[in-house]
Amino acid sequence: MRAAALVSLVGRDLRRSMRTFWVAALGIAAGVATLVFFLGLAAGMRAVVFGKILPLDQVEVIPPESSVGSVLSMLGARPPGIDEAQARALRRAEGVRLALPRLRLAFPTSGRGGRAMFGRDVGSGEIPADGVDPTMVRGDLRPGADFEDPIGRASNRPCATDADCGAASGEFCDLVSLPVSGQPRPAGHCSPPIPAVVSPYLVEVFNGAIAPAHGLPRLGDLLLRQAEGLILEWDLGRAGLGAARQGTPRRVHAKLVGVSPRAMDLGVTVPMAVARRLNREYASEDAATRYSSVVVYLRDPSRMTEVAARVRAEGLEVRTRGAEQMGLLATAVTVILSLASVVTVLVAALNIAHGFAAMIAERRGELGLLRALGATRRDVRLLLVLEAAAIGAGATALGLAAGRAAAWGCDVVARTRLPDFPFKPDTWFVFSGRMVLGVLLFGVAACVLAALRPAWRAAKTDPAAALSGGVG
Amino acid sequence: MSETPLPSPDPAVTAHLALRDVRKRYPGGRVALDGVSVSVAPGELVAVTGRSGSGKSTLLHVAGALDRDFEGEVRVLGRSLAALSDAEAAALRHASIGYVFQAFHLVASWTVRQNVALPASFAPAPVPDLAARVDRWIERVGLAGRGDDLPTALSGGQRQRVAIARALLMEPRILLCDEPTGSLDAETGASILGLFESLHAERAMTVLLVTHEARATAIATRVLTLDEGRLVDDVAQARGVA
């Protein structure tokens, strides 16, 4: 039978079949709609969780965490850390795309700033900070900004206030000690601010939790550009919970020069040279030379377990921040929800099978006639299977459209009704072409499989016996 | 209809239908045909008569390659049915045999034109000028202007005319009719028989007409009588003698 004739017959039969199959087709559509909805939601959640919150392609390598080490460190023994040789070995390890050493400031700091932007200073009693190699964040800096230790460029002119340094100089008045209320302001010297970057994670936390709680504006793209350049008064060696073991607490200035995914999550990141210099001043030589962690970026996220095992074999630890467990959980939830949808589709496919069996009994005489007029058994099979495929394709397309519409509706509700929170996405769904194609094939395949047995039986219809009955 | 060339008969084939010692037993043991041997020459109009259950329709099904589960030998246009594959038998039915049934077997939701054109779906190549050919056959069977009607809008006689047009669309050499007037009233049945008679005369087809009506045997050139699956009488006659 020619393809064009087959398609024409299928098209003509479909109009009749829909009277028999519309309920089953709606079942297929409903199953497909829920399936694509859940798959899209799962993909969307994975994109947010693993794209922004818990990137699956990176692990943080840390020194061995043991209570003994901490106690020894408190007693003045060498604190745990990763030395340069170990960092170099990590960079060369198989499966590692990039290894980024980090040096945490090993002493307390606090700070405040943002008066020009928010109308009042916003501060924190504890500001964690670390240092990274400038090359790691260079691509994330605002135009014209650099990420080097500014100490060599300082004029060191004596000053009492920032105004003494002159706005045009770009310098601020760093104080040699922290001001105490009721006492004369300490002496200062003019120095460029320390460049600092923050993470998108911190911006999200600010927008989702801090800004609403304090009545501050969210940092959208525009405000964020303004925020780059924000000056922070940064008190070194003293914070809300205590003071550094050595060094004199003093006040310096830091300048926000960019937002970088390679900055520390909750804190500020400064040039490695600054971190070394300040750790030397307020902590110890070891704290200035031994890295607190190395962030390892993987070539292939699926090899995380393998890389983690290699790291542990080197006597180091891996902090995955629960990404692996979250990944497993997300996969499990996706599988369960998808299975429910698949069952819906399969039940609908069973309806299709029953529908086809009934239709074939009803059209027995007609099938006999087709055989009498020249149809082969194969033609009859093809006719019915293609009809099932067409019903499946139509129902699946309807289901896909319904699933996408439901997703769009949920996005609208989420945008307009849900309060802002960190990492609130613009859309909760991701529909890839591959997913849509896979669901389409699944819907069609379910209908085709359902029709196979009835089609085979129909093809075996004895035309003589079938034509002994009658239609028309 | 004269512009469509008639299939040229194979000079080597002396019988369009040849059955030799054909036996057909249905599941359950009932014998429908019991050693039937008969040969139908090209251009004959043969009526097959007999009581109900005598094997008339079974003979037509076997001769028309609709039922190939039998003993003995059946040759259609010189080709043994036993040697044909399913596809070859389907091709033979498509190209060489037309069928008309008592129950019409029209697709109720298709128009007259779509019903008549149905056999063209199984042609190995597109049928040239199919629409014109369909319209010509609709006109020839007396249904001009009814091509867009549904079968449900037609009378029983008109539905049988649609079935006849469908049977003849591919211009078969053999036309097999199973009680074509069985569900029609006398007047309508007579007009259908008249149509068969004129078509046979103008197309020189071989026609096997299963009937239990005397008026139908009147148009035949030969009458076969079956009784309990056996051929008990085979009489050549001039038309109009029954």
B64, B93, B109 ranked by CB distance to A374: nearest: B93
Q: How many CB pairs under 8 A join A and B?
A: 99
* Mean pLDDT across B235-242: 67
- Tokens found for residue B171: 């211009």
Any A CB within 8 A of B104 CB: yes
Cβ <8 Å between B105 and A2 = no
Cα of A19 to nearest chain B Cα, Å: 12
| Contact (CB, 8 A) for A265 and A319 | no
B187: phi then psi, degrees, rounded to nearest 5: -70, -45
**How would you label A365-401 residue by residue, b for 16+ Cβ within 10 Å and e otherwise?**
bbbbbbbbbbbbbebbbbbbbbbbbbbbbbbbbbbbe
Angle A142-A148-A154 from CA coordinates, rounded to 5°: 110
Beta bridge partner(s), residue B74: B19
Chain A residues touching B57 at Cβ < 8 A? 468
- H/E element holding A400? helix A377-417
Cβ <8 Å between B90 and A366 = no
Say what percent of chain A tops pLDDT 70.
90
Distance CA B112, CA B153 (A): 10
Using one digit for the tens of pLDDT, what is the confidence trace for A187-223?
Answer: 899 999 999 999 888 888 888 778 888 888 777 666 6
Chain A residues touching B123 at Cβ < 8 A? 2, 5, 374
- B48 pLDDT band (50/70/90 cuts)? very high
Cβ <8 Å between B93 and A368 = no
- A468 pLDDT band (50/70/90 cuts)? confident
Q: What is the DSSP string of A130-192?
A: EEE-GGGTGGGBPTT---S-GGGG----EESSHHHH-GGGT-EEEESS---TTSPPPPEEEEP
Chain A residues touching B87 at Cβ < 8 A? 376, 378
The answer, yes or no, to whether residue A366 has pLDDT greater than 80, is yes
Task: Report the chain B residue with the minimal C-alpha distance to residue A10.
Answer: B121
Task: Report the chain B residue with the minimal C-alpha distance to residue A462.
Answer: B67
B101, B125, B166 ranked by CB distance to A467: nearest: B101
* Mean pLDDT across B177-184: 86
Any B CB within 8 A of A376 CB: yes
Suggest the residue from B107, B159, B169 to mutate for an interface test with chain A (most A CBs closer than 10 A).
Answer: B107
In this prediction, residue A375 carries a pLDDT of 92
In this prediction, residue B20 carries a pLDDT of 94
Dihedral of CA A325/A329/A330/A334: which sign? positive
- H/E element holding A285? helix A285-289
Distance CA B240, CA B198 (A): 14
Cβ <8 Å between B99 and A372 = yes
Q: Which of A375, A20, A465, A470 is nearest to B151 (CA)?
A: A470
Using one digit for the tens of pLDDT, what is the confidence trace for A151-161?
Answer: 888 898 999 88
Average pLDDT in chain B: 87
Cβ <8 Å between A471 and B87 = no
Distance CA B169, CA B132 (A): 11
Any B CB within 8 A of A19 CB: no
The answer, yes or no, to whether residue A24 has pLDDT greater than 80, is no
Chain B residues touching A8 at Cβ < 8 A? 121
Using one digit for the tens of pLDDT, what is the confidence trace for A246-290?
Answer: 888 999 999 988 888 888 888 899 999 999 999 999 988 888 889
* Mean pLDDT across B159-165: 92
Any A CB within 8 A of B70 CB: no
Phi-psi region of A128 (alpha: psi -120 to 50; beta: other; left: phi over 0): beta
- H/E element holding A196? strand A194-198
Task: Report the chain B residue with the minimal C-alpha distance to residue A16.
Answer: B109
Average pLDDT in chain A: 83
In this prediction, residue B227 carries a pLDDT of 92
The answer, yes or no, to whether residue B8 has pLDDT greater than 50, is no
Of the given ranges (A322-331, A376-385, B229-238), which has the lowest mean pLDDT? A322-331
B94, B107, B124 ranked by CB distance to A472: nearest: B107
In this prediction, residue B4 carries a pLDDT of 34
- B75 pLDDT band (50/70/90 cuts)? very high
Cβ <8 Å between A467 and B66 = yes
B67, B95, B106 ranked by CB distance to A472: nearest: B106
Any A CB within 8 A of B93 CB: yes
In this prediction, residue A195 carries a pLDDT of 94
Say what percent of chain A tops pLDDT 90.
23
Cα of B100 to nearest chain A Cα, Å: 10
In this prediction, residue B242 carries a pLDDT of 47
In this prediction, residue B9 carries a pLDDT of 46
- A51 pLDDT band (50/70/90 cuts)? low
Instruction: Give every CB contact of residue A88 below 8 A, 6+ residues apart in sequence.
Output: none
Chain A residues touching B118 at Cβ < 8 A? 369-370, 373
Using one digit for the tens of pLDDT, what is the confidence trace for A92-128?
Answer: 888 888 888 999 998 899 988 887 777 778 877 888 9
Any B CB within 8 A of A76 CB: no
Task: Report the chain B residue with the minimal C-alpha distance to residue A470.
Answer: B103
In this prediction, residue A70 carries a pLDDT of 52
Q: What is the DSSP string of B106-118?
A: --TTS-HHHHHHG
Angle A337-A341-A342 from CA coordinates, rounded to 5°: 115
Distance CA B221, CA B95 (A): 25
Any B CB within 8 A of A317 CB: no
Cβ <8 Å between A471 and B99 = no
What are the residue ranges of helices labelled H in chain B? Answer: 56-63, 86-96, 112-117, 130-140, 156-168, 186-203, 214-217
Q: Which of A443, A434, A451 is nearest to A402 (CA)?
A: A443
Residues in chain B: 242
Q: What is the largest CA-CA distance in chain B?
A: 50
Q: Which of A384, A400, A387 is nearest to A441 (CA)?
A: A400
Q: Which of A249, A237, A167, A234 is nearest to A196 (CA)?
A: A234
The C-alpha torsion from B45 through B50 and B52 to B58, rounded to 10°, is: -50
On whether the B41-54+89-236 domain is CATH 3.40.50.300, my answer is yes
Which regions of A63-150 does DSSP assign to beta strands (E)?
96-104, 109-113, 122-124, 129-132
B57, B58, B105 ranked by CB distance to A369: nearest: B105
In this prediction, residue B38 carries a pLDDT of 93
Instruction: Give every CB contact of residue A163 below 8 A, 6+ residues apart in sequence.
Output: none
* Mean pLDDT across B230-238: 87
Any A CB within 8 A of B117 CB: no
Is the overall model pTM greater than 0.80, yes or no? Answer: no
- B121 pLDDT band (50/70/90 cuts)? very high
- Tokens found for residue A94: 């198989």
The answer, yes or no, to whether residue B153 has pLDDT greater than 90, is yes
In this prediction, residue A470 carries a pLDDT of 39
Any B CB within 8 A of A246 CB: no
Angle A44-A45-A46 from CA coordinates, rounded to 5°: 90
| Contact (CB, 8 A) for A277 and A152 | no
Any B CB within 8 A of A3 CB: no
Three-state secondary-structure class, residue B82: helix
Give domain A58-101+292-321's CATH number out of 1.10.8, 3.90.1150, 3.30.70, 3.40.50: 3.30.70
Suggest the residue from B30, B66, B94 to mutate for an interface test with chain A (most A CBs closer than 10 A).
Answer: B66
Give CATH 3.30.70 domain extents, chain A.
Answer: 58-101+292-321
Chain B residues touching A5 at Cβ < 8 A? 120-123
Report the side by side order of strands in the sheet with B31-40. Answer: B31-40, B17-25, B71-76, B79-80
Suggest the residue from B81, B101, B114 to mutate for an interface test with chain A (most A CBs closer than 10 A).
Answer: B101
Any A CB within 8 A of B44 CB: no
Cα of A460 to nearest chain B Cα, Å: 11
DSSP B170: T
- B203 pLDDT band (50/70/90 cuts)? confident
The answer, yes or no, to whether residue B226 has pLDDT greater than 70, is yes
End-to-end CA distance of chain A, in Å? 25
| Contact (CB, 8 A) for A453 and B87 | no
